[in-house]
Amino acid sequence: MAATRRPDALPPHLSDKHKHVTCASDAPTYTSTPEYAGVYASLGIDNSLDLDELRREVRIDVKSLTADEMVFDVVGIDAPIANALRRILLVEVPTMAIEKVWVLTNTSIIQDEVLAHRLGLIPIRADPARFEERGDSESNESNTLCFRLTAKCTHNADKSTDAEPYTGARVLSSQLTWVPQGDQAAGFAAEPPRPVHDDILIAKLRPGQEIEVECWCEKGVGKTHAKWSPVATASYRLLPRITFHQPVHGPLAAELKALCPLDVFDIEDVAGVPTAVAARPRSCTVCRECVREPAWAERVSLQRVRDHFIFSVESTGAMPPDRLVRDALGVLKQKALDTAQLLKDTRAQADGDVDMAGAVGAADE
Amino acid sequence: MEEEPEGAPRETRTLSIDSGSDASKATFTLTHEDHTLGNAVRYILAKNPQVSFVGYSVPHPSEPKMNVRVQTTGVPASDVLLDSLVTLYKVADHIDQTFAAAVDEFKTKSSQRV
């Protein structure tokens, strides 16, 4: 029998387990998503993936967006898709980072390799879409950005007691100067490439010491080295859901409000009775303080909504966070397309081999 | 003097198919893929009623290799895998469009507020 009813037709006790992870005082229960298409087959309910339904039900709501941080809700997808997005944000969205350092002079106490490593970790604001990955080819203006760092420390001529004794003692990222290659000067005139922050301490010098290096930035991804990761963090959590098995009134409501360290509950006047309501479930960290005592566990139910993901993306500043998410989805799409093509090619080749073997066999007879 | 190889070696993604007694079952081995694609594809295949078994593994974290095992109720395993990749593309594309619209809406709203 072709089951046409969908999981939203599940009876309440199963629907609750289908939609929510329950966080009891000792352990969470029903943590894994029922994924198998035939999981509710005996009830005549079809749990397969329906693209039209998904298209109807996916909701995205941006909660906050600044130059380097954003929070948004994605409702209606499952963890494997959300996790693919998170993982791609961490290690597969390309950025620019210093990859080669040519040390012309380094008389500081920082060793060349340590200095090069520190330079590599400086986030660079330059649009990676305008560059190619260098791969095995020669460095040129389409795959490399060049910065020069020249720093020298001297005694300060001003000998007054409150003056700094040295000038140029602190080498900062602001001292990295961009050296345009080829036609880069015209192409990047609107937004000259530069370090995201000007106050990153690269080295400390004392009089007589100097550093002169040339840094070559290349395009790369975080799985090669973390310096190319475009995010400081990218994470998601499931929306907490707090419901009441029985209404919590009067002094108990005040007690519940006091129990919660994150001020999730409010006391509202419901039909003349002060009643506890879960006013701010997003503030909840699921500390389980409100269900720790058996008496409270009978009144309050603490759950997480299985398909409601609260994403938090914190960019290093190299690119705005909404752009990073779009890029990550682009990478996911490309990954699916590339793999599909690879599968088609492999299959065609295998079929070709079989045909060839058949042809050779026929010729032998 | 030996020349150092320039840059990191290019990732050449490969796919090999280890078929069973018939086309309805196969193990697909992908190189340079990991849990990102593996778990997403596994999830979409598990949601396909034509699939009787699906699992994926990354045999060793330092080896860039991922296996997907697919057994179906009759249709060729490579067909359902191909379908799942197309579905993954469509899901990602829909999320992409929805996200773009949500960001536009947020930017319009916050510019009106100012």
What CATH number should be reported for the domain holding residue B92? 3.30.1360.10
Question: How far is Cα A320 from Cα A84, in angstroms, rounded to an integer?
Answer: 20
CB contact under 8 A, B86 and A336: yes
pLDDT at residue B21, as a whole number: 86
Q: How far apart are CA B1 and CA A360, in angstroms?
A: 48
B3: in domain:
no
Phi, psi of B21 (to 5 degrees): -65, -30
Chain A CB contacts of B95 under 8 Å are: 58, 60, 74, 77, 81, 85, 329
Q: Which chain A residue has its CA at the smallest distance from B104's CA?
A: A62
Asked whether the beta carbons of residue A81 and residue B91 sit closer than 8 angstroms, the reply is: yes
Q: Do A65 and B106 touch (CB under 8 A)?
A: yes
Q: Which residues in chain B touch residue A61, judged by CB atoms under 8 angstroms apart?
A: 102
β-strand A145-152 against A210-220: which pairing, if any?
antiparallel
Domain enclosing residue B74, as ranges: 15-113
What is the ipTM metric for this complex? 0.92
* Cα separation, A9 vs A142, whole angstroms: 56
Q: Which of B22, B29, B30, B43 to mutate to test the interface with A (most CBs of A within 10 A)?
A: B43
Query: Does residue B66 form part of some domain?
Result: yes
Q: Do the beta carbons of residue A88 and residue B44 sit within 8 Å?
A: no
Residues in chain B, total: 114
What's the CA angle centered on B82, arms B78 and B85, to 5 degrees? 140
Asked if residue B8 belongs to a domain, the reply is: no
> Tokens 């190189």 belong to which residue?
B31
Task: With respect to residue B6, please indicate whether it lies within any of the assigned structural domains.
Answer: no
Rounded to two decimals, the pTM is 0.91
Could you give the domains of chain A?
59-93+230-245+299-353 (3.30.1360.10), 95-227 (2.170.120.12)
pLDDT value for A244: 96
Distance CA A308, CA A74 (A): 6
Q: What is the pLDDT of residue B5?
A: 44
- Contact (CB<8Å) A342/B107: no
Contact B91 A51 (CB under 8 A): yes
Per-residue pLDDT of chain A (365 residues; tens, 9 = 90+): 454 799 999 999 999 999 999 999 999 999 998 999 999 999 999 999 999 999 999 999 999 999 999 999 999 999 999 999 999 999 999 999 999 999 999 999 999 999 999 999 999 999 999 999 998 899 999 999 999 999 999 998 888 878 888 999 999 999 999 999 999 999 999 999 999 999 999 999 999 999 999 999 999 999 999 999 999 999 999 999 999 999 999 999 999 999 999 999 999 999 999 999 999 999 999 999 999 999 999 999 999 999 999 999 999 999 999 999 999 999 999 999 999 999 999 999 988 877 766 665 555 54
> How far is it, in rounded angstroms, from Cα A149 to Cα A182?
20
Residue A23 tokens read as 């966080």
Please report whether residue B59 resides in a domain: yes
How many domains are there within chain B? 1
* Helices A79-91 + A321-364 axis angle, to 10: 100
Residue B77 domain-assigned (yes or no): yes
Q: Which residues of B touch A46 (CB under 8 A)?
A: 49
Of A62, A135, A343, the CB nearest to B10: A135
Position A1 scores a pLDDT of 45
Give pLDDT, residue B2.
Answer: 43
Q: How far is B87 from chain A (nearest CA, A)?
A: 8
Q: Which residues of B touch A87 (CB under 8 A)?
A: 34-36
Examine residue B102 and state whether it is found in any structural domain, yes or no.
yes
Helix or strand (DSSP H, E) at A330: helix A321-364
Give the C-alpha distances (Å, rounded to integers) separating B18 from A348, B59, B85: 15, 16, 19
Residue B2 located in a structural domain: no
Using one digit for the tens of pLDDT, what is the confidence trace for B42-78?
999 999 999 999 999 999 999 999 999 999 999 999 9
